[in-house]
Amino acid sequence: ADPTRVGISWITDAGDGSLNAKLYYREAGASDWVISPVNEVYTADIANNRGSVVSYSTNIAGLKPDTAYEYYVLTSDGTKEYSTETKSFTTLPGGEDFSFVVVSDLQSTTAEGYDPFLYTMESFVADALGGTDFVVNLGDLTEDGSSLPQWRYMFTTLGDYYATNLTAFVPG
């Protein structure tokens, strides 16, 4: 793992991929923001004619190991700008040692169904294990991957967790 690089991805459920999107980041507490341009935009149709989502991603390089960073995303449709809240993450430690946890099958059909995972990560993993450097998620985040409401439930409950904890998602 390279502690000087982080990839960040996000999705929107509106638009056709024509939004202008930029990710702004900085070392936590610094005054100047750096722009990381979006390097991939992908529109995917949801099964059974349930709409589409647009996925954006960017890769940030040149970061310092074991350092807190802040970031936010700014998108524009040409007339109006939309900004996310500022979130933060900490890069992996330098050297060869790091810790991670592997999880899978978080699937739920309600927002509350994700609470046990959130409680486990915030209580047991953080308190009993002393935290982890990152999470590997092996997939099955929703009961029905083509259900946009179920994705919204997952992001409603776990969005802040994923926005602030380094996570590698593996399709499952």
Rg (CA), the chain: 17
Pairing of strands 40-45, 87-90: unpaired
Using CA atoms, how far apart are residues 56 and 48, in angstroms rounded to an integer? 23
In tens, the pLDDT along 118-164 reads 888 888 888 888 888 888 998 888 888 777 788 888 888 998 898 88
> Is pLDDT of 50 > 80?
no
> Is pLDDT of 16 > 60?
no
Give, rounded to a whole angstrom, the gap between the first and last alpha carbons of the chain. Answer: 22
98-115 mean pLDDT: 89
- 3-state SS class at 97: coil
Residue type, 62: G
> Is pLDDT of 28 > 70?
yes
Residue type, 153: Y
Predicted confidence at residue 143, as pLDDT, reads 82
In tens, the pLDDT along 75-86 reads 887 888 889 999
Q: How confident is the model at residue 112 (pLDDT cuts 50, 70, 90)?
A: very high
Please give the model's pTM, rounded to 2 decimal places: 0.78
Predicted confidence at residue 171, as pLDDT, reads 74
Predicted confidence at residue 172, as pLDDT, reads 62
Q: What percent of the chain has pLDDT over 70?
A: 92
Q: Could you give phi then psi for residue 35, rounded to 5 degrees?
A: -95, 130
Q: Could you give phi then psi for residue 45, rounded to 5 degrees?
A: -80, 140
- Distance, CA of 68 to chain centre: 16
Best CA proximity match to 70, nearest among 38, 30, 39: 30
Is residue 118 a contact partner of residue 150, using CB atoms and an 8 Å limit?
no
Hey, how many other C-beta atoms are within 10 angstroms of the C-beta on 6? 20
